Structure formats: structure tokens, C-alpha cells
């Protein structure tokens, strides 16, 4: 897999904040219940004493539980919710009874974002994961509210690849990021993750050994997970002082001309690039724009790409536009080299369509 110009991983530096270290510990519990401290020491470069101190603090705070003697000690989450998936389990009841009362004095818009994201992610577990257990962790911090949701099912990338016949896990992440992707179109719209990740200030979703991360203001990144983990894990972070509302996000991708339906999408082009590749071919461009005909407007974000090839640009901005005249393409965050390729293809399209 790839790390597409991702930000520095703070958990790998000795200058990591306490919250960074805590989340590294919590993220590592499932694959490393018996060697948690050793693994976190190796991953972060922190001393064993420092990691032990934070692990003990998380146990005292009720986020971890420990069992067994010192040499055989095992750790696991002590979550807010740990329930078997059974008939009648509902996401709104989990939210209403277990999470909402523990949020304290947060603003109405932050509460609305957390409710939307939490219920959408839990519904995905209930309806799609084929899991036997759901785990939810809530961590109210001074500046943020963080919610962690995990299941022990197949893993969403594996399910998408298998049922939709996609190439691989990264192809699944690209398609997921576009929106309107679901394995159950009769009962779902495929919008939950699309909107949730854009409401949060930071959103991460793991499936086995790959992670899709979005940071507000920085875009999408694909990361290798340090260890393969069972099922799907979601981490949502919302700043307490955010002024964003769910309606703000919905409105960005809706059009009054279409009764405010989900008619616009935004695609991070770097997600179409596999490890060791440059975006140069027409087949890569076609993969980028697959299912684009489900939208009236497609915005392409070229952040994280230094160059693209002329064939790739021509396929997107001349061939695709010619074949889909009712779809509007826009773009931003392109380097000078990328802009040259785009402008050349746009001029070719304008010339052949007589719109010079």
C-alpha cells in the first residue's frame, strides 16, 4: 500500500503528545494484547517506563482493562459499549442511552455531527459487517471529542472487493471516497462514510492492514496499518470549537436544481495512484472517474501529486468531457506541472468542441 504524502505520524516521534501516545496504545491493543508495551515502545521510540505510565493511566481512566500476572499480562479495551450483534440492535438506542448522556456540555452542532457519524458507522456494522461483536469507545478531551468504533467482522475493504469485484483494497478506498457506494443498494444509499468523514476534523477507517484517513484542510491519505487487525475500525475526532454543522456539509454536495439531492462529489486524485506508480495512463484515469455518471458535478483535488502524464490528463479533461457533456468537471490544488497537463487537455477539448 502507500503513504500518499501523509503528514508526519506523531506517534513515531519522541515529541508525541500524550493524546497521540494514548491513541497509539488504544489502536494497538487488539493486535497486541499480550505484548502491548513492547510494541508501543518499538513504534514510538519512547522508553518502556513512559509507555507503562500511560498504559497504567488508561487502565485507571477506565479505557483499558488488564488481566493476568505481570509477565503474562493481557490488555483489552474497556469500552463504553461492548455488545453482541443480535436481532433488534439499533444504532439510535446505543447513541441515546450510552453516548449522548456522556458528552457533557458540548455545542449543538458538535453533538449533531457526533450523532450523525456515530449512528451511521454503527448502522454499517449492524447491516454490513457480518460481525459478532460491536465495540464503542468515547474519549472526551479538552479540545476534542473522540469516538472509536470497532467490529470483528470481515473488514469493509474485503467485502467491497469481493462483492463489487474491485481490484484490491486501495481501489475500494478510492470508490468509497466518491460516495454512493454500497453493497446493498435496495436498502442503503452509500452516503454515510462520505459525509461523516467530511464532518469530522479527523477521520480514520481501518480494514485489516490499510487505513483511509482524512484531515480537515489537508485531504485524504492512505496509510499502511502497523498490524493487520480484525474487522473494521473507525476513529472520529471533532473539535469542540468547530462551527461546522451537518447541514453545511450536506449543502456542499447538493444542488437546488436537483431538489438538494447528492449530486456533487469531490475526489482526491491521489487515491487513484498505487504504490510506486505515477498517474500516466488512460486506464488509471478511467478508474478515477468510474461511477462519475451518478453525479452532475465532479470536483478533482490534485493535492499530493507532483506530476501527471498527458494521456491521463487527456482522458479526464478531453475524452471524459466529450463522452459526458452533462457532467461538470472542476479541479484545484494542482502543481504547475500538473496544471500544464490539464490546460493542454482542456484546450484540446475546447478546440474539438468548437468552444474556443
Which position has the higher pLDDT, 180 or 4?
180
Q: Which of 84, 192, 80 is nearest to 137 (CA)?
A: 80
Question: pLDDT at residue 39 above 80?
Answer: yes
Q: Which of 199, 215, 249 is the last residue of a domain?
A: 249
Q: What is the CATH number of the domain that holds 174?
A: 3.30.565.10
Average pLDDT over residues 97-108: 93
Residues 185 and 292 in one domain: no
Residue 205 sits in the same domain as residue 143:
yes
Task: Calculate mean pLDDT across residues 79-105.
Answer: 91
- Please determine, for residue 28, whether its predicted confidence score (pLDDT) is greater than 70: yes
Q: Identify the H or E element spanning 74.
A: strand 74-77
Q: Is the pLDDT of residue 79 over 50?
A: yes
Residue 323 lies in a domain: yes
| Judgement on whether residues 128 and 241 belong to the same structural domain of the protein | yes
Domain count, the chain: 3
Same domain (yes/no): 174, 86: yes
The H or E element that residue 102 is part of is none
Q: Is 110 domain-assigned?
A: yes
Kindly give the interhelix angle for 192-199 and 108-128, rounded to the nearest 10 degrees.
Answer: 150
Q: Are residues 134 and 231 in the same domain?
A: yes
pLDDT at 226: 62
Same domain, 65 and 86: no
Q: Give the three cell numbers for residue 155.
A: 473488514
pLDDT above 50 (res 305): yes
- Say yes or no to pLDDT of 173 above 50: yes
Give the closest residue to 269 by CA, choosing from 309, 235, 225, 232. 309
**259 shares a domain with 192:** no
Q: How confident is the model at residue 12 (pLDDT cuts 50, 70, 90)?
A: very low
pLDDT given for residue 78 in this prediction: 80
Confidence band (pLDDT; 50, 70, 90) for 266? very high
Query: Is residue 64's pLDDT more than 60?
Result: yes
Average pLDDT of every residue of the chain: 90
At residue 153, the 3 state secondary structure works out as: coil
| Cβ-based burial of 134 (10 A; exposed 0-12, middle 13-18, buried ≥19) | buried
202 within 8 A of 239, measured Cβ to Cβ: no
In this prediction, residues 173-199 reach a mean pLDDT of: 94
Q: What is the reported pTM?
A: 0.82
Domain that holds residue 52: 10-77
C-alpha cell at 171: 481501489
Distances (CA, A) of 276 to 3, 169, 284: 11, 16, 14
Co-location of 340 and 191 in the same domain: no
Asked if 99 and 245 sit in the same domain, the reply is yes
Q: Residue 10 above 50 pLDDT?
A: no
Is the per-residue pLDDT at 71 higher than 90? no
When comparing pLDDT for 30 and 315, which is higher?
A: 315
Local confidence band at 148 (pLDDT 50, 70, 90 cut-offs): very high
The verdict on residue 187 lying in a domain is yes
Statement to judge: residues 216 and 289 lie in one domain = no
Q: Give the Cα separation of 98 and 96 in Å (integer).
A: 6
Give me the pLDDT at residue 252, please. 94
Rounded CA gap, 320 and 328, in Å?
10
Q: Note whether residue 5 is domain-resident.
A: no
pLDDT the model gives residue 6: 38
225 and 172 in a common domain: yes
Q: What is the CA radius of gyration of the chain?
A: 22
329 in a domain, yes or no? Answer: yes
Q: What is the CATH number of the domain that holds 45?
A: 1.10.10.10
pLDDT of residue 232: 94
Domain boundary among 18, 42, 77: 77
Report the C-alpha dihedral over residues 107, 109, 114, 115, rounded to 10 degrees: 110
Instruction: Answer yes or no: is 318 within a domain.
Output: yes
Domain shared by 149 and 185, yes or no: yes
Amino acid at each position: 500500500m502507500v503513504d500518499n504524502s501523509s503528514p508526519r505520524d506523531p506517534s513515531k516521534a519522541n515529541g508525541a503528545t500524550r493524546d497521540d501516545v494514548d491513541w497509539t496504545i488504544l489502536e494497538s491493543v487488539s493486535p497486541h494484547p499480550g505484548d502491548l508495551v513492547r510494541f508501543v515502545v518499538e513504534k514510538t521510540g519512547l522508553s518502556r517506563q513512559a509507555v507503562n505510565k500511560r498504559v497504567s493511566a488508561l487502565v485507571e481512566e477506565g479505557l483499558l482493562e488488564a488481566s493476568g500476572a505481570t509477565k503474562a499480562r493481557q490488555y483489552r479495551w474497556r469500552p463504553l459499549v461492548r455488545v453482541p450483534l443480535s436481532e433488534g440492535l439499533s444504532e439510535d438506542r446505543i447513541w441515546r442511552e450510552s453516548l449522548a448522556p456522556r458528552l457533557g456540555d458540548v455545542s449543538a452542532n458538535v453533538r449533531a455531527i457526533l450523532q450523525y457519524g456515530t449512528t451511521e458507522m454503527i448502522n454499517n456494522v449492524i447491516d454490513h459487517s457480518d460481525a459478532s461483536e460491536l465495540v464503542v469507545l468515547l474519549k472526551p478531551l479538552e479540545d476534542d471529542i473522540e469516538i472509536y468504533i470497532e467490529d470483528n467482522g470481515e473488514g469493509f475493504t474485503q467485502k467491497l472487493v469481493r462483492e463489487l469485484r474491485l481490484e484490491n483494497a486501495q481501489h475500494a478506498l478510492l470508490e468509497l471516497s466518491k460516495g454512493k457506494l454500497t453493497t446493498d443498494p435496495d436498502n442503503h444509499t452509500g452516503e454515510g462514510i462520505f459525509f461523516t468523514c467530511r464532518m469530522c476534523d479527523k477521520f480514520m477507517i481501518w480494514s485489516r492492514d490499510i487505513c483511509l484517513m482524512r484531515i480537515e484542510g489537508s485531504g485524504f491519505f492512505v496509510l499502511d496499518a502497523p498490524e493487520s487487525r480484525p474487522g473494521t475500525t473507525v476513529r472520529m475526532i471533532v473539535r469542540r470549537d468547530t462551527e461546522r454543522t451537518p447541514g453545511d456539509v450536506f449543502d456542499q454536495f447538493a444542488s437546488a436544481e436537483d431538489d438538494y439531492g447528492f449530486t456533487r462529489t469531490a475526489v482526491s486524485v491521489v487515491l487513484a495512484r498505487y504504490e510506486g506508480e505515477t498517474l500516466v495512463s488512460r486506464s488509471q484515469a478511467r478508474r478515477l472517474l468510474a461511477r462519475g455518471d451518478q453525479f452532475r458535478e465532479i470536483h478533482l483535488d490534485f493535492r499530493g501529486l507532483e506530476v501527471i502524464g498527458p494521456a491521463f490528463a487527456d482522458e479526464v479533461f478531453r475524452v471524459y468531457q466529450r463522452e459526458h457533456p452533462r457532467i461538470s468537471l472542476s479541479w484545484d490544488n494542482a502543481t504547475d506541472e500538473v496544471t500544464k497537463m490539464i490546460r493542454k487537455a482542456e484546450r484540446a477539448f475546447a478546440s474539438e468542441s468548437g468552444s474556443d
